[in-house]
Structure 1
Amino acid sequence: MRAVIAEDAVLLREGLVRLLEEGGFDVVACVDNGEDLLRAVEQHQPDVCVVDVRMPPTFNDEGVKAALVIRRQWPDVAILMLSQYVEERYAVDLIAGDSRGIGYLLKDRVADVREFLEALRRVAMGGAALDPEVVTQLLVRSGKQDPLEQLSPREREVLGLMAEGRTNGLIAEALVVTEGAVEKHVTNIFNKLGLPPADQAHRRVLAVLRYLEHGTDNHA
């Protein structure tokens, strides 16, 4: 799979290049700003981009803005955002749009190389990889009652694993329970949030985000 890396920190960028190449990716371009990222995507048409949220010149939200442009102009290019922050202003637009190939991970929580590469491959193949902290912040951003208060501690665990793009089988393995038990938890989560269960873990999470962002009772 071909990848483009957009990261302004030189050491982290070089580390990502080595990590991805050792993981079997073909890194076709490395850039340090949003404009060069868009040019690289147009030129190389990669399978996936690894993008820092904050890049030059303002170190504000250039990366996520560029990611939104990529989603509009090259919808088949998957995107994995890497950030020290949850950029709420644009994160919902990015995550709650087309559900194919989206990831949003917090740098400080990426501690396992194997899991990171698995998440990147999942995103590149059209899945999702959402840090549970990202989902939690977006779920409560409306300022209304915390929708997660309705969930039991176990249901919160299941939702967090769903946010990482895991299937029911993988969730069951992680929690050392049966897949049937996970299915019951998933059903309870969506009943409590007013959403019906869907077929894929990442689509379920995105449906929740869309529902809360728009403040309606419509099902995604």
Structure 2
Amino acid sequence: MSGAARAEHRVLIIDDHVLFAESLELALSLEGYDVRRLELPEEGGSMATIRSLALRRNPRTVLLDLDLGRFGDGMNLIAPLAKAGINVVVLTASEEIGRWGGCMRLGARRVLPKSGALQQALATVRRLHQGLPVMSPDELETLLDAWARERRNHDEVRQRLDRLTPRERQVLGSLIEGRTVRMISEDSVVSEATVRTQVKSILNKLEVSSQLAAVGLAHQVGWQQGV
């Protein structure tokens, strides 16, 4: 593949880990690609800002980190970038295969673990440049199946949480904040026995055996009191 041809392939790196992004930029530049790093705003800005800046660069391929610090989850960028005809390659430290499947469902071309991602990223960009597939049908099916299983589990947990009464939701919210039964009873001006009964009901409805497990289940699906 000629250097001139690669120079026409613009690669944009969206990653708030500067050293990692610089390593990618250097490696891709040495291979002759037109590669840029998206400078994330130090103050202000939002995910919409990043999306606008990325589309303005008109890249052919985007190497996207999922953890964009204060800007949030990079998954929110996949669909709009893919819809614009951009090859989105996700680089992530997350080992949640269901989340990888979610990225593919949104239009990513491939998901790579950040551990050892440099050579894999280079190989993936080369294949995209050549118009070659970067993931086998079996790999894609495995990831999408993992996403579907996670979605079903998420929905099941949400259904359990929906069984809680308004008061039980308040108590669970307090547990998530790290408050003890005694503290909750003092805040609510009720006896500790009453709060313990409420906690027991929460555990039964969530089908868990401890307060820690209940809090973990709520975190697992991003549950918030009143939402």
Alignment TM-score, normalising by the size of structure 2 = 0.50
Gaps of 5+ in 1: 130-164, 166-201, 216-220
Q: CA deviation at 1:90?
A: 4.2
Which AA in structure 2 matches 1:93?
G
Kept in 1: contact 2:78–2:106 (CA 8 A): no
Change in Cα spacing, 1:47 to 1:211, as seen in structure 2 (3 Å) is same
Q: Is 1:204 equivalent to 2:138 in the alignment?
A: yes
Identity of aligned residues (%): 18
Within 1, Cα distance between the matches of 2:78 and 2:100?
10
Kept in 2: contact 1:32–1:55 (CA 8 A): no
Q: Is 1:121 equivalent to 2:126 in the alignment?
A: yes
Within 1, Cα distance between the matches of 2:146 and 2:97?
13
2:224 maps to which residue?
A: none
How large is the RMSD of aligned CA atoms in angstroms?
A: 2.9
1:49 maps to which residue?
A: 62
Q: CA deviation at 1:125?
A: 4.8
Q: CA deviation at 1:96?
A: 3.4
Which AA in structure 1 matches 2:112?
L
What does the per-residue CA deviation read over 1:31-86, in whole Å, with 9 as the maximum and x for residues that have no partner? 3374444123321221100111101216xx52122123322x31x20011111113
Within 2, Cα distance between the matches of 1:205 and 1:97?
16
Kept in 2: contact 1:13–1:30 (CA 8 A): no
Query: How many residue pairs end up in the alignment?
Result: 136
Partner of 1:49, secondary structure, is strand
User: Which structure's residues are more often helix, by fraction?
Assistant: 2
Kept in 1: contact 2:97–2:147 (CA 8 A): no
2:51 maps to which residue?
A: 38
Match for residue 108 of structure 1 among 101, 115, 118 = 115
Q: How does 1:76-115 map to 2 (within 5 A)?
A: 76-88=85-97, 90-96=99-105, 98=107, 102-110=109-117, 113=119, 115=120
Kept in 2: contact 1:96–1:206 (CA 8 A): no
- Rg larger for: 2
Within 2, Cα distance between the matches of 1:50 and 1:13?
9
Within 1, Cα distance between the matches of 2:80 and 2:95?
19
Change in Cα spacing, 1:40 to 1:128, as seen in structure 2 (3 Å) is farther
Q: Is 1:20 equivalent to 2:28 in the alignment?
A: yes
1:62 maps to which residue?
A: 73
Q: CA deviation at 1:118?
A: 1.4
Within 2, Cα distance between the matches of 1:88 and 1:210?
9
Within 2, Cα distance between the matches of 1:27 and 1:46?
9
Within 2, Cα distance between the matches of 1:214 and 1:12?
31
Partner of 1:96, secondary structure, is helix
Partner of 1:46, secondary structure, is coil
